[in-house]
Amino acid sequence: MNEPTREHRLADGENPDGTTPRALPERVAGRYRLRGELGRGGFGVVYEAWDELNEQPVAIKFVRSDATMVPSGTSSRTYETDASSCSRRGSDSAARRSSTRNFSATRSSEDDLTEAFKDEFRLLTQLHHPNLAEVYEFGRSAEIEGVFFTQELVRGEHLTDYLSRATREMVVDIFLQLARALDYLHALGLVHDDIKPTNILVATSDDGPPRAKLIDFGLARVFRRADQDLDTEDPGSLMVLGAPGFSAPEKVRGERTDHRSDLYSLAATLYAAIRGQRAFPAKSFKEALRAQADWRPELAGALLPQAGPVVAELVGRMLEPDPEQRPQSARSVVLELLRRESLTTAPGYDRQSDLNEFAAVLVEHLAFVDRDGQLNTLLDRAAEILLSREASDSSQPGWTRTLPVQAIVVEAPEGMGKQRLMAELRREVQIGGGLFVEGTCWSANHTALGPFATVVTQLGTSLPDASPLRARYRSLLALARAEQTELDPAVAGELVEFLVDCAQQRPFVLHLAELARGQEFARFEQLARAITFNRAPILLCATTVPHSRLNPQLNNLVHEQVCETWRLRPLSLAEMETVVSGMLGSGPIVSELATMLDKLTGGHPLSFRETLRVMIEAQLLVREADRWRLHPNAASAAELHKTLAERTESRLDALGLPAWEIAGVLHLVAAPLDENQLASLSDLPHDGFRRTLSRLEGEGLVVRTTGSPTRQIALAHESVREAVRQRHAGSLDQTRLELATRILGLDTDDPNLLALRARLLDDAATGVESVDVLESTAHRLLAAGHPRLGAQLVLTLIDRLRRHGGVENLPRLLQAELTFLRDAAGALDDRDLEARRCEAGILIAQILADHRAESEFWLGLATRYTRYTGEPLDLELTRARLQKAADCARLAEDIELELIVSHRHAEVLLVAGQIEQAGQHSRRAMQILDLPTANDADVCEIIGTRLRYLAFSGQLEEAQRLLTLARPIAARVPVTRRLSYISGLTFVAIFSANPNLAIPEIESSIADLRKANVPRLLRAPLHNLGDLYLRLDDYPSAAEQFREAIRLATLYGVEHAVHFNRAFLGYTLARQGNLDDGAPLVRESVDAVRTRFTHDQVITQQLRLLDAEVAHMAGQSARARRELEEMLAQFHASNEVSLASWAQDALARIERDLGTNFIENVQGETSDSDPDDDTVRTKPVR
C-alpha cells in the first residue's frame, strides 16, 4: 500500500490558531510518520500520521507541551478532538486512576493532564458506533516527550460547512445519525457534555452515504441520575466547562445535568449549522443564559424553514430551557424522526430496523465487567514481571528475584470472553506505560515466522533507532515480512533469543491467540521454557479453545511450573447481575433480568449477549427516557423461546454427533444430577458419554457445577431442552422406561433421582398409568422437605389427571389440587399459577359438592391478593371472593374455617384503609380463641391482625393486654407463620412510642428466619425493625435494615416494597442531615406508589407523611403544612387515630420551626469569554 500524499500539510510557520508550530519529528514511536497538524484545543494537539506497521492513515493526538489544566478554549480549522477533561467528576477520575497500574520502570509520576488524557482513551476504547471515531493504540513518545493515542482519521468537513448547502433530506439524515450516536452513549450511562459544531465532522465518500462523526470526548462523563450525589466539592470552587450558547442552561447554572443537556447542545449545534448563525450569540455565559431563558419553541419553524417542519419543531422543543419540557431521550428523537420523516429517511429503514441496529451495537460491546477478576490477576502478574528487572537491579548482590509463573494459557470454548479479556489487558498495559505485542496462530500470514512475524515487527518498531539489536537481528526483522513457508531451525533459535533480548531493553506482554488451531505449540513451549530459564521480563499469554491434542503437553508444563492453565467458566448469576447493571444501571429490573437470562443462557457469555439482543429486538427489554423496563408480553415471550430454541438446535447440529447420542445425554441431564450417576445411567459407552458431555459443555449447552464430592450436571438453559424435544420427542420413550427401571434398581432416596424417575415414567405414559408413582413420589418429596420438586410433581400429576383421568378420577384430582394449595403454595414463586389452580379447584369442588374444599380454594384465591404480594387490590372482587369462602364454610358447618375467613377479611380492609369495618371482622375472628381445635398458627395470625387494628384505631391499652396473651402463643409457632404477629407488634410499639417493646422479639424472629433459610420472608420484619430503630433516632441501624429490605424486595421482584423501603431510607438520610440524598429517594418513591400501588392505603398514607416531613426539612414548609392539614382531616374522618397523631406531631414541629430561614440565595460568578464556540471554564451562573 502506497503512502498517502501530504494533502493536509500546513503552510510553513502557521498553525490553525495562528501560532508558530514546534518542529515535528519525522517519525513517532518507531511507526507513525507525521504528516501535519490537524487541530489543537485546550490541552491537546492532533496530527495526521501514517502508520507504517499497519499501513493506514491515522489521527494521532498528543498532550500539548504548553497545556495546563485551565483550558483556554478549543479551535480548529479542519479537525477538532480536544477539550479539557478537568470537568470530570472527581470520584470518577479517581476511580479510573486508581485502577491504572505502572508497567514501566522509567515512567515517572503522571500529572493530572496525563491522567485525564488516559481517562479519555480508556473511555473511547469502550465505545463502538458508526457515528463515533474508533481509537487504536495508546503509547508514549520520546520524540515529543509525552503520551499519545491514535484513532480513526476522519476526512471530512465540519457540520456547519456541510449543512450550509444541505437539502431537507440531508438535514434529516445527519440529525438521525447524531441522535442515534447520543442514544448509544446515553444507553451506556454517558454524556458527551461538549457538543458544538466544531466537534462534529461529516465524512463523505464516493462509495457510501455521508457519515456524521461525533468527536472530542475530553469532557465526557457518567451522568448523574436524580438519585445520585451532586458534586461534593465546595460550591464556591465548582467550575463549568462548555461553550456559551451551546451548553444547556442547567449546566451553566451549576445544577444537576443529565442526558437531556446533550439534547439541548445538539439542538443548538444543529440550529447554528443549518441557519449559519448561533441561536444565542453571546460573549459570556451570563449573556447567553439570558437569551436562552427567553427562547420560545414556536420560533424554530420560522427560523429554520429549510430544515422542514419536523426538524424545526424538534429543535425548538430540544432548546427548551427547562429539561422537563424537552424530549426526554435521544431514543424518542430517533423514533419521532423515523415516524414523521419516513419519506425522507433511507428506503426500507424503519423503527424495527433501527431497533435491531441499536441492539446489535449495544450488546456487542457490553461493558467489560464479567471477567474483571481474571483481568486484575493478569495485571498484577504483568506488573510484577515487567518491573522485575528494576527490582533485581536494586537488590543486594547475589540476590535473585523469584518470579511467578510467566506463561498463562487461557482455555475456553468460543464466545466465553478470551479475546475480550486480552483486549482489556492490552489497553491497561499500554495506558500504564508497558509494551503489549500479539500474534495469532490462525491467520493468512505465510511468512516463515508465522504468528511471530507480527510480534517481531511490533518489537522492531519499538526499538530505538540507535539500538544495537536492530543491526544484530537485521535478517530476522527482514524475514518477518518475507514470503516463506518453512522456518530454518537456526532461525527458530534466533527468534527466541531476539524476544529475550528485546525484553531486556524493554519488558513486554506477548499474546498468542488461537494456540490450538495452528502448529505453534512447540514454539510456544520453547519460548515459555526460555523465558523461565532466563528470567526474562516477559508475560506470555496464549488463548485457545479446549483441544485433546494440547492437554498432555499443557499438563507437563503445568507440572513443571513453567505454565498455568486458566479455564473460563460460564458467568454466575452475580456476575450476570453485574453485567446487566453495567448496561442498565441500578434498579429492580437488574435482578429480574439477570435471573431470566440465567435460565435462558446458563451464563454462557455468547448466549447471554445473543439472548439480550433478541430481547431488545423483540421489545421485551425497552428503554424509556434514561430507564430500562422489562415488558414480557406473552406473544413476544413465546417468539423469544422459539427463536432461542431454533438457534440452540443449529448449535447442536454443528456438533456433528449422532442425534441419538446428543438427545440421550441431554435427556439424562434434564435435572441436576451427579456426574457419576449420569455416567452409570447412560446407555452410551463410557468414552462416548464423557466426550459428548465435554463437547456440550464447550458449546454452553450444559454446565458442570462443583458439588460434594463430585460435580453436578444440568442443562444450561431451557432452550436446549426445547430444541431436543422438538427434534427427538418421539424417539425417547423406550429410553425413558429403561432409565426409570435403572433408577428403581438403585434403591436411592436422592430427591433428584426420585423426581427424574417419576418424570420419565410420566413422559412415556399415554394414560393414567403414571398417576400412582407421581402421587406417591410427590408426597414423599413434600414430606422430606423438598417443596419445589414436590410441587413440580403435583402439577405434573394434576395435568395427567386432567387430560386422561376422566370423571371417575375427579375426587383424586380434587385431592391433588388441595395438596398443591396446602403443601406447595409459594414453592414455585408463581402467584398467577397458584391463582389458576385455585380457580380450577373451585370448579372441581362445585362439581363434587365439596363445600369445605370450595371454601379453601376461594380463601386461597382471595389470599393471593392480600398477603404481602404487592399486587393491585380489587377490593370489591376480593371481598366477593371472601364472602364466597364464608358462605361455603357455613354450608360445610366448619366454624373454624369461617373465623379464618373473617380474619382474611380484616386483613383486606386494613390494607384498604377501612379501619372500622376491619375491626368488626377482626373482633369476630378472635372467637377462634374459644375453639379447642384451633391450632396455634391460625390463632397467632388472627391476633397479629387484631393488634394492627387496635394500633391504628388508637386502642393501645387493649393492644397491650392482648400482647400479654399473644406472646406465649407466638413462641410456640414456627417463625414462618409469625409474620402477622410481628407486624401487629411493631405497630403497637410505634404508636405507643415504645420501640423497645418490640425490638428484642423482632430481632429474634429475624435470626430464626435466617436460620430457616427463607430470605424472601425477611423483608417485612427487616422493615419493621428499621422503623423501630428510626423511632429511637438510631439512624445508621435503621438505614442498614432498610437497605437489606430493598435488596430482598428487588431480588424477589416485590416492587411496591422496594419503593416503600426506599422512602423510609430517604427519610432516614434526611433526618441524619443528608437531605441531598434523602429527599429524591422519598419523592421518587411517593410518586411511584401513588401511580402504581394505590391499593395499599396504609403504605400510601405513611409515605405521604414522610414526604411532607422531608418537604419541611427542605424549606417547603408551606406545602408541607397544607398537605399535613389535609391528611389530618382525612385521618380523623376514617378514625385512623394513630396516623392522625403522627400528622399532628409533624404539624407541631413545623410551627416550632417557623422562624428558621431554610432557603439560601447564592450569587454565582460569571467569566466572560469571547470565542465563537470554544469550550471555556466558568463558575456556575445562578
CB atoms within 10 A of CB 197: 23
pLDDT on residue 16 = 46
Asked whether residue 367 carries a pLDDT value surpassing 90, the answer given is no
Three-class SS of 909-977: HHHHCCHHHHHHHHHHHHHHHHCCCCCHHHHHHHHHHHHHHHHHCCCHHHHHHHHHHHHHHHHCCCHHH
pLDDT on residue 72 = 41
The average pLDDT across 310-331 equals 87
Q: What stretches of 1016-1144 adopt beta strand conformation (E)?
A: none
Q: Is it true that domain 156-364 has CATH number 1.10.510.10? A: yes
Percent of the chain with pLDDT over 90: 8
Rounded Cα–Cα distance for residues 875 and 907 (Å):
11
Report helix angle 351-364 to 168-187, nearest 10. Answer: 40
* Helix or strand run (H / E) with residue 980: helix 979-991
Alpha-carbon dihedral 775, 779, 782, 783, rounded to 10 degrees: -170
Rounded Cα–Cα distance for residues 776 and 785 (Å):
15
Percent of the chain with pLDDT over 70: 75
Residue 1096 DSSP symbol: -
Rounded Cα–Cα distance for residues 729 and 749 (Å):
29
pLDDT per residue over 526-575, tens digit each? Answer: 888 888 888 889 999 998 877 766 777 888 888 888 898 888 877 888 88
Rounded Cα–Cα distance for residues 39 and 61 (Å):
9
Tracing cell 397479629 back to the chain, one arrives at 944
pLDDT on residue 231 = 45
pLDDT on residue 810 = 94
pLDDT on residue 65 = 62
pLDDT on residue 746 = 72
- Give the pLDDT band (50/70/90) at residue 99: low
The average pLDDT across 70-91 equals 34
Strand partners, 148: 62, 139
Strand partners, 437: 510
Between strands 621-624 and 627-630, the pairing is antiparallel
Asked whether residue 1065 carries a pLDDT value surpassing 90, the answer given is yes
Omega before residue 709 within 30° of 0, cis: yes
Rounded Cα–Cα distance for residues 1024 and 1004 (Å):
13
pLDDT on residue 772 = 93
Average per-residue pLDDT in the chain? 76
Grid coordinates representing 286? 451570563
The average pLDDT across 1097-1102 equals 77
Residue 483 DSSP symbol: B
Rounded Cα–Cα distance for residues 687 and 665 (Å):
13
Phi, psi (degrees; rounded to nearest 5) at 253: -80, -5
The average pLDDT across 1146-1154 equals 79
More confident residue, 102 or 173: 173
pLDDT per residue over 34-52, tens digit each? Answer: 888 887 766 678 888 998 8
- Residue 911 CA from chain centroid, whole number: 34
Tracing cell 427567553 back to the chain, one arrives at 294
- Give the pLDDT band (50/70/90) at residue 663: very low
Strand partners, 208: 205
Strand partners, 242: 1176
Report CA torsion sign: 611, 612, 617, 621: positive
The average pLDDT across 287-300 equals 85
CB atoms within 10 A of CB 519: 8
Grid coordinates representing 478? 527482514
More confident residue, 702 or 844: 844
Closest-CA residue to 150 (of 53, 10, 48): 48
- Taking the CA atoms of the chain, what radius of gyration do you get in angstroms? 35
More confident residue, 991 or 883: 883
Looking at mean pLDDT, say which of 27-31, 334-338, 642-646, 842-846 comes out highest. 842-846
Q: What angle do CA 495, 499, 500 make, to 5 degrees?
A: 115
- Give the pLDDT band (50/70/90) at residue 100: low
pLDDT on residue 829 = 63
Buried b / exposed e along 297-321 (16+ C-beta atoms within 10 A): beebbeebeebbebbbbbbbbbbbe
pLDDT per residue over 229-282, tens digit each? Answer: 444 444 454 566 778 888 888 888 888 778 888 899 998 888 888 888 888 888
Rounded Cα–Cα distance for residues 207 and 343 (Å):
23
Rounded Cα–Cα distance for residues 981 and 992 (Å):
16
More confident residue, 341 or 81: 341
pLDDT on residue 132 = 86
Grid coordinates representing 652? 447442536
Asked whether residue 965 carries a pLDDT value surpassing 50, the answer given is yes
Contact of 330 with 182, CB cutoff 8 Å: yes
Rounded Cα–Cα distance for residues 1033 and 1071 (Å):
9
pLDDT on residue 222 = 55
Domain 1020-1153 is classified in which CATH homologous superfamily?
Tetratricopeptide repeat domain (1.25.40.10)
pLDDT on residue 1162 = 33
Contact of 62 with 45, CB cutoff 8 Å: yes
The average pLDDT across 984-995 equals 86
- Give the pLDDT band (50/70/90) at residue 2: very low
Rounded Cα–Cα distance for residues 735 and 122 (Å):
55
CA distances from 417 to 315, 570, 607, 933 (A): 42, 10, 12, 63
pLDDT on residue 3 = 41
More confident residue, 875 or 1009: 1009
pLDDT per residue over 887-925, tens digit each? Answer: 999 999 988 888 888 888 888 887 777 778 888 888 888
Domain 27-152 is classified in which CATH homologous superfamily?
Phosphorylase Kinase; domain 1 (3.30.200.20)
* 372-389+403-567 and 1020-1153 agree in CATH topology: no
Rounded Cα–Cα distance for residues 507 and 104 (Å):
8
Q: What stretches of 731-790 adopt beta strand conformation (E)?
A: none
Asked whether residue 347 carries a pLDDT value surpassing 90, the answer given is no
CATH class of 372-389+403-567: alpha beta
The average pLDDT across 1083-1105 equals 76
Asked whether residue 1164 carries a pLDDT value surpassing 70, the answer given is no
The least confident of 86-95, 255-264, 633-642, 988-997 is 86-95
Looking at mean pLDDT, say which of 418-422, 1048-1052, 1070-1074 comes out highest. 1070-1074
Rounded Cα–Cα distance for residues 716 and 698 (Å):
11
Closest-CA residue to 1037 (of 1049, 1047, 1024, 1051): 1024
pLDDT on residue 670 = 55
pLDDT on residue 752 = 75
**Where in the chain are the domains?**
27-152, 156-364, 372-389+403-567, 573-654, 1020-1153
- Residue 858 CA from chain centroid, whole number: 41
Closest-CA residue to 330 (of 531, 129, 580, 96): 129
Report CA torsion sign: 986, 987, 990, 992: negative
The average pLDDT across 863-867 equals 56
DSSP notation for 110-127: PPHHHHHHHHHHHHHHT-
Rounded Cα–Cα distance for residues 54 and 423 (Å):
18
pLDDT per residue over 788-808, tens digit each? Answer: 788 889 999 999 999 998 999
More confident residue, 868 or 415: 415
pLDDT per residue over 609-662, tens digit each? Answer: 778 877 887 777 877 766 777 876 656 666 677 777 777 777 667 665 543 355
Asked whether residue 341 carries a pLDDT value surpassing 90, the answer given is no
Asked whether residue 80 carries a pLDDT value surpassing 50, the answer given is no
Tracing cell 403443601 back to the chain, one arrives at 823
